[in-house]
């Protein structure tokens, strides 16, 4: 969608008592002033709608959802911050793409979605959840869409991709479920979500050769496992190991800082997890569970070997949070700030 002024993915401009409800758009919108993902300029009412397309314009009347607004009521409506490229809007609420592919975002906002009755029984919307093998943005039940994988695509379900996890929606009540090494690798796609490990992961589990080690050859050009999160893009969610173990984690990144199963966490919770027979090498801030750990680590342990240069620990190289009911049987080696549990404890660290 391309224009000069008053440009929107659905409506350029609407006035007086115009009502927009149960609508969405995924088109890219380019204009000058009053440019929005759904509406360029709005008077009236918008409810239960969203936009996910990219939005660009030339002045400050550009918004992810609405460019400009006057005497309007916008409720229970959203835009995608990442895909729109816009962090602000004259109306609506910005969400991450992951949040806009989560059923709870919409049911909590009162949308009438298939499968629930608290918000109505007309089933205006539906959404693909990870248990189906796919995830998507919401789409309208009154419209016919392509079946997943249809070629050629005529009217694809918005945002449809194969689910990166075995199930769940990433909330505390319904965490993403991990059953393979690929699922574990994909934790990095939703760094602020909740996760649960459903089973042990070891050398025989699907994806080990791709993400860790294939025979005697380490994955990722000989570097092995790629740590989840790093400084500036930390894992900030929650990871519940469910009492299961992750075995055979190999990392050889001697020139890399922030090395471990997690490279760095920020106020994250990790619990009920065992790491067995790790073989991890890094530079600064190296640990089995996390290179740098901020937040609680509870009811967890590790065995194997961890080595680095500075800030090297059996569980965490650097600790800003606290540890409770943990132990380490890790052979730890390094030059300075080296410890069996933690290499260095920072402010307010508690073990």
Please name which of 88, 67, 65, 90 lies closest in space to residue 78, comparing C-alpha atoms. 65
pLDDT digits 0-9 by tens, 17-75 = 899 999 999 999 999 999 999 999 989 999 999 999 999 999 999 999 999 999 889 99
Percent of the chain with pLDDT over 70: 99
Domains, the chain, with CATH or none: 7-96 (no CATH), 101-145+155-163 (no CATH), 176-345 (2.160.20.110)
Q: Are 231 and 259 in contact (CB under 8 A)?
A: no
How would you class 142 by CB atoms within 10 Å of its CB: exposed for 0-12, middle for 13-18, buried for 19 or more?
Answer: exposed
DSSP codes joined into one string, 231-290: TTB-B-SEEEEEEEEEE--EEE-TT-SSBSSEEEBSS-EEEEEEEEEEEEE-SEEE-SSE
The predicted pLDDT at position 321 comes to 87
The predicted pLDDT at position 349 comes to 59
Q: How far apart are the first and last CA of the chain?
A: 56
The predicted pLDDT at position 58 comes to 93
Global model pTM greater than 0.85: no
Within 10 angstroms of residue 206's Cβ, the number of other Cβ atoms is 12
**Taking the chain (351 residues) in consecutive chunks of 10 residues, what is each chunk's mean pLDDT?**
95 92 98 97 95 96 96 95 97 93 94 97 94 92 94 95 89 93 96 96 98 97 98 97 98 98 97 98 98 96 98 97 95 98 82 64
Please name which of 261, 302, 298, 260 lies closest in space to residue 282, comparing C-alpha atoms. 260
- C-alpha to C-alpha distances, 139 to 11, 168, 272, nearest whole angstrom: 19, 19, 37
Q: Which residue has the tokens 């070629």?
A: 151
């Amino acid at each position: 969608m391309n224009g000069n002024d008053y440009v929107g993915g659905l409506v350029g401009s609407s006035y007086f008592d115009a009502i927009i409800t149960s609508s969405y758009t995924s088109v890219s919108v380019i204009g000058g002033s009053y440019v929005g993902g759904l509406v360029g300029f709005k008077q009236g009412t918008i409810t239960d709608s969203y936009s996910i397309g990219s939005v660009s314009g030339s002045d400050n009347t550009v918004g992810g959802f609405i460019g400009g607004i006057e005497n309007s009521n916008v409720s229970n409506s959203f835009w995608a911050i990442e895909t729109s490229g816009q962090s602000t809007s004259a109306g609506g609420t910005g969400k991450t793409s992951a949040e806009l592919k989560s059923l709870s975002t919409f049911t909590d906002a009162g949308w009438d979605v298939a499968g629930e009755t608290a918000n109505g029984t007309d089933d205006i919307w539906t959404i693909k959840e990870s248990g189906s093998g796919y995830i998507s943005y919401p789409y309208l039940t009154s419209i016919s869409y392509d079946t997943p994988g249809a070629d050629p695509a005529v009217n694809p379900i918005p945002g449809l991709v194969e689910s990166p996890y075995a199930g769940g929606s990433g909330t505390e009540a319904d965490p993403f479920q991990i059953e393979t090494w690929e699922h574990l690798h994909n934790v990095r796609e939703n760094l602020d979500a909740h996760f649960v490990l459903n089973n042990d992961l070891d050398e025989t589990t699907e994806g080990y050769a791709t993400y860790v080690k294939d025979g005697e050859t380490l994955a990722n050009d000989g570097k092995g496992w790629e740590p989840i999160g790093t400084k500036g893009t930390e894992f900030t969610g929650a990871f519940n190991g469910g009492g299961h173990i992750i075995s055979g984690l190999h990392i050889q990144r001697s020139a890399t800082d922030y090395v471990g199963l997690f490279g760095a966490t920020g106020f994250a919770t990790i619990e009920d997890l065992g790491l067995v027979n790790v073989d991890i090498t890094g530079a600064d801030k190296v640990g089995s569970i996390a290179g740098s750990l901020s937040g609680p680590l509870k009811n967890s342990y590790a065995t194997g070997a961890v080595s680095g240069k500075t800030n090297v620990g059996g569980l965490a190289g650097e600790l800003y949070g606290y540890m409770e009911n943990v132990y380490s049987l890790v052979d730890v080696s390094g030059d300075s700030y080296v410890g069996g549990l933690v290499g260095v404890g920072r402010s307010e660290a508690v073990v």
